[in-house]
Amino acid sequence: MERQIHVIVLILLSIFEVWMCYQVLYRTALEKKCLRKWKQVLIWGNILVSGTLLGINRKIIFFSSTMFIFIILATLLCAWIVERKNMLIKIEIITLFYTILALFDFFCGFITMEVIGKQFWIEIYKFSQSMLQCVLFLIPRAVAILFLMKWKEKSLILKENRKILALLCVVFLGILRIYTTTMINMVTSTRTAQGWSAAVSLVFVGTLTAGVVMFFHHFQMLKTENKMLLELETLSENHIKDMELMMEKNRIQTHDMKHHLLILREYGQEKQWDSLMSYLNELSDDILVQKKTVWTQVGILDTLLEQKKTKAESKGIEVRVQADRIVGLPFSDMEICTLFSNLLDNAIEACEKIEDDRRWVAIQITRKSGMLYLTISNSIKDRPAEQEGKLITNKQNHQLHGYGIKSVQKIVRKYEGDFSYQIRESEFIVTITFWRLEERNEI
């Protein structure tokens, strides 16, 4: 009876292991919501059959390289049948999942070897009938399910992450091969059994490898982020130059206006009404169309607001601006351009996705008691995607998009402000608060 229970427990643990692999896929590379009924049945068939074969094999031998390869290929084949996109990332995730779990099994195996000594061959390694083997396999899978319980949100895996996963797969497979040979040599007495040493070295090598890989990955991500931020600053500088040209043109038009008024007065005094009307029509095409609204008395900000308002209205988007007349801002022209351009561009792009007439952007700028409040809200079609409380872009160019918000947050942090957002049924609201701008300006 104990033998049957032992086999059943091993099979259940192995089925649970394959099921967890699919849970990882659902959180990374496989769209569970899009799976039809027959695909779900196929996945469960793969889980039950592969898990059963794996459990039976573990009763025969602690670890089999042949079964390890088979279980990876079986899971990969099923994943390919149900959804044929993102296959490279699926290969990496499936391989890495089973490899890490196998290394964890070896870690527990080496510790058990140190505790029970030569009984490891009979109790655990070959043709085991002991429930101790079930406990050994249970521990890594219990840790894995705790990790999965904390990992609830679907993760977006970028191109750079795929390279890291591929490198980890190669390195961990190499480590698995080394420690497979080490255990075989220990249990066959061709090498002195040193379970503690093997377990500690396995943890050290695995942790060191993962740490080094993740360090270089983090370094590369920071390098890429800095490069993109520099590109955004260059774009902001170019934007500032364009607005300065517009402001200079407005100043020239203001300067020329007195000459136009003199000519109009002359036509009026001479009662040359036809000439006067002709001159007014000519002015309307050049000047009146290019009128500028003063909202804040900050030249570059008013020019930017006018530019974005004109751009949005040309696309059928209603723009409402409510702003106090603010002076003495500590921001540089580049920071003003970066802050408002990114927020308004995102709002306009969100409105462009809406097909009906519910397209609007509202801008509110309030200055009170040394504090500055910025609120930019806009209508939305779909709820933006979030991950761990942060917005993630659904644009194709993931490397460039998303850095606009980071540039905004960088400015907010510089002036010790707060950045927050709200998502309502059909509205997205960004709120930025700067608390002590007057004090900073005096400094």
| pLDDT exceeds 50 at position 220 | yes
- Predicted pLDDT of residue 436: 72
Tens digits of residue pLDDT in 16-44: 999 999 999 998 888 787 788 999 999 99
Give φ, ψ of 284 to 5 degrees: -65, -35
Q: With cut-offs at 50, 70 and 90, classify the pLDDT of residue 275.
A: confident
**The amino acid at 412:** V
Q: How far apart are CA 123 and CA 140, in angstroms?
A: 18
* CATH class given for the domain over 293-442: alpha beta
Give yes or no for a contact between 75 and 94, defined as CB atoms under 8 angstroms apart.
Answer: yes
Average pLDDT over residues 63-74: 96
Highest mean pLDDT among 138-152, 258-272, 334-348, 413-427: 138-152
Q: With cut-offs at 50, 70 and 90, classify the pLDDT of residue 106.
A: very high
Tens digits of residue pLDDT in 119-145: 898 889 988 888 999 999 999 999 999
Lowest mean pLDDT among 158-162, 320-324, 438-442: 438-442
- Predicted pLDDT of residue 439: 47
Taking each helix axis from N to C end, the angle separating 403-414 and 195-269, rounded to the nearest 10 degrees, works out to 90
Map residue 432 onto helix, strand or coil.
strand
Question: Three-state secondary structure along 157-206?
Answer: CCHHHHHHHHHHHHHHHHHHHHHHHHHHHHHCCCCCCCHHHHHHHHHHHH
Residue predicted with more confidence, 120 or 270:
120
Q: With cut-offs at 50, 70 and 90, classify the pLDDT of residue 300.
A: confident
Q: How many helices (H) and strands (E) does the chain have?
A: 13, 7
Residue 88, CA distances (Å) to 76, 104, 394, 433 in order: 10, 24, 21, 44
Average pLDDT over residues 286-307: 74
How far is CA 18 from its chain centroid? 27
**The amino acid at 55:** G
Give yes or no for a contact between 193 and 117, defined as CB atoms under 8 angstroms apart.
Answer: yes
Q: Which residue, 163, 242, 176, 228, is CA-closest to 205?
A: 176
Place of tokens 């169309």: 289
112: which residues sit within 8 A by CB, 6+ positions away? 120, 124, 132, 136, 195
Map residue 390 onto helix, strand or coil.
strand
- Predicted pLDDT of residue 56: 95
- Predicted pLDDT of residue 442: 41
- Predicted pLDDT of residue 401: 43
Q: With cut-offs at 50, 70 and 90, classify the pLDDT of residue 103.
A: very high
- Predicted pLDDT of residue 173: 95
Give yes or no for a contact between 66 and 57, defined as CB atoms under 8 angstroms apart.
Answer: no
356 φψ region: left (φ > 0), alpha (ψ -120 to 50), beta (else): beta
- This prediction's pTM: 0.56
Q: With cut-offs at 50, 70 and 90, classify the pLDDT of residue 368.
A: confident
Taking each helix axis from N to C end, the angle separating 273-286 and 195-269, rounded to the nearest 10 degrees, works out to 180
- 32 C-beta neighbours (distance < 10 Å), count: 16
Task: Name 365's bridge partners.
Answer: 323, 374
Average pLDDT over residues 163-183: 91
- Predicted pLDDT of residue 286: 58
Give yes or no for a contact between 161 and 93, defined as CB atoms under 8 angstroms apart.
Answer: no
Q: Structural domain boundaries of the chain? A: 2-193, 293-442
Give yes or no for a contact between 66 and 30, defined as CB atoms under 8 angstroms apart.
Answer: no
Residue 99, CA distances (Å) to 60, 96, 104, 175, 179 in order: 20, 5, 9, 9, 12
Looking at every residue in the chain, the average pLDDT score rounds to 81
